[in-house]
Structure 1
C-alpha cells in the first residue's frame, strides 16, 4: 500500500508541473524559398535536386512555368537510312584498291615490261577516283592513283563545280605503256612505262559537255579553269606538263609521280 501511495504521489506531481501538450509538430520547417516542392504555373511539380546545377535548372523551370521543349538526346538515323549507308560503304569497299575506298578498280599485280626499265611491281587498274570516272580503265601504281585522288579533290572538282553540273569523268589519253619518252627511239623510258603517269585530254561534265585541253586552254570561258587545274597538279605530282611545255603536250596534261631533288617540275 505504501508503495502504491508513493507511485500515485509522483504521478500527481508530474501532472501538476507539466505544461499544456504541444499543439505543433517539432519537425523542422523549411525556410522561405526552399520548399520541398515547387509548383509551376502549368501545374507540374518539380522536386529540387541536391546537385546545385540540377537545382538551378529546376528553379528556372518553376520560374518560367514550362518544361524543356526540346530533347537534348541526339537524333538517330532511321533504320532504312542506316542500312543504305552500310550498303554504300560495303559496295565501295568491295571495289576499293590501294586501301582507299574512293579509288575504285581492281588489282593487277606485277606487270613485266618488254623493255629494260619498264614494268610495275604492284599495279592496279583504276576505273574511278573520288566519284569521277575514267573514260578508260587506267593501269598505274598506287602512288599515282593516290596523287590523282589528291588533285581531284583539292583542285579539279572544285574548279569545275560551277560548270555543267560539275566534273563527271576524266578523258584519259594514256596510262601505262612500255615506251620511251615521247616515243623517241633510243630515248629514256617514259614514266608511263613505269606505271607512274597518266595523260588527261579533257574533262566530261555532268551535263554531257566536254572541256578539252586543246581548245579550252585558250578559250575565254575555260582558260582560267584549266590553268588553275594545271597549277594545282604541281605538288601532288612530280611532273606536270601542259600545252605550253612543248608541242607534244598541246592537247593534254601529262601528270607523273617522278620526284626530283629540287621539287616538282611543272611547265
Structure 2
C-alpha cells in the first residue's frame, strides 16, 4: 500500500513537470495557431545535448571535421614554412608549375604563317634567379630547358666571373618566321615557341660578355664553350659561332627533338 502510494505521487509529479514544460516531452505538442500537431525533434526536445558555444566557435575557426583537427599533427614547422614560401613565390608570378620560372601566362598564340602556334604560351622574365633582358614568349618545355641549362651549365660556368651570372641578353624568342629568315625555308622553331637566342651574358659586377667577342676571348672562351656544350641535352638543337654565318654572334637553343637525339654544333 505504501509503495503504491509513493508510486502514484511520483507519476503525478512527473506529469506536472511535463505539463509545466512541454518542450521537455518527447510527445508531439501543438505549435501556436496551427491545429495540426508536428513532432518535436530529439534535438529540440533536449534529449540530445547541444554542443557548448565555445565548442561551436572552435569548430568554426578550424573548419570542423576530423582531418582539420588532426592537420597540425601531420605538418612540421619546416613543412609549414616551406609551404608559405611556396605560396608567396607563386603569388609573385611563378609559371609552368615551377617557382624558379617567373613570368605570366599568355595562353594560345598564333601568327600569320601556318603552324605558328603556341597552345599554352608563357611570357618569362626570369629563370632560376637569372633575368632575361626582355620578357620572352615560349612554351613551358622550353622554359624548363632554360632552367636545366642555367642550373647545370651556365651559372656554374660563370660562378667565378664578376660575381656570377645576372642576366641573359635575349636576341630573339617567339617570332613567326622561317629559319634564318630565309625565303622558302621551313618554319623556324621560334615560330612554335620552342626557341630562344642569347647574344650576351651580363655579370653581377656590370660586365657584359657577348658571344661574338667572348667566344675566343682568353678570359671567357672556356666558359662560353662549357655553356654551349652543356646546352646539348636540355635542348634538342644547339647552334653557336662554329655552326654557320647566321650564328656567329649568338647561341640558338630550341627544344625540337630528332630521332638521332640532340643536334649540337
**TM-score (norm: length of structure 1):** 0.68
Indicate yes or no: 2:230 matched with 1:227: no
- Work out the number of aligned pairs and report it: 187
* CA drift at 1:86: 6.7
Equivalent residue number for residue 135 of structure 2: 137
Deviation at 1:151, TM superposition (A): 0.3
1:40-189 correspondence runs (5 A): 88-94=85-91, 95-189=93-187
| 1:88, distance to aligned residue in structure 2 (A) | 4.7
**Structure 1, residues 142-182: CA drift from partner, whole Å, max 9, x if none?**
00000000000000001100000000010000000000000
Query: Residues 186-226 of structure 1: CA distance to partner in whole angstroms, max 9, x if unpaired?
Result: 11100000000000001110011111100000000100110
Partner SS, residue 149 of structure 2: helix
Q: Output the TM-score relative to the length of structure 2.
A: 0.68
Shift of 1:115: 0.3
Q: SS at the partner of 2:223?
A: helix
1:133 and 1:91 map into 2 onto residues whose CA distance is 19
CA distance in 1, matches of 2:201, 2:84: 29
Is 1:247–2:264 an aligned residue pair?
A: no
Q: Which has the higher helix share?
A: 2
| 1:259 aligned residue | 257
Aligned match of 1:211: 209
In the TM superposition, residue 113 of structure 1 has moved relative to its aligned partner by 1.7
- Take 2:164 and 2:85, find their aligned partners in 1: how far apart are those partners? 22
Report the CA distance between 1:118 and its aligned residue. Answer: 0.8
Matched residue, 1:4: none
Q: Deviations over 1:68-121 (max 9, x none)?
A: xxxxxxxx89xxxx97x7765333212110000000000000001210111101
1:196 to 194, 197, 200: 194
Higher Rg: 1
Three-state SS of the structure 2 residue aligned to 1:120 is: strand
Q: Counterparts of 2:205 and 2:86 in 1: how far apart (Å)?
A: 27
- Could you tell me how far apart the structure 1 residues matched to 2:260 and 2:184 are? 26
- 2:7 is matched with none
Aligned partners of 2:236, 2:133: CA distance in 1, in Å?
A: 23
Structure 1: which 5+ runs fail to align? 1-75
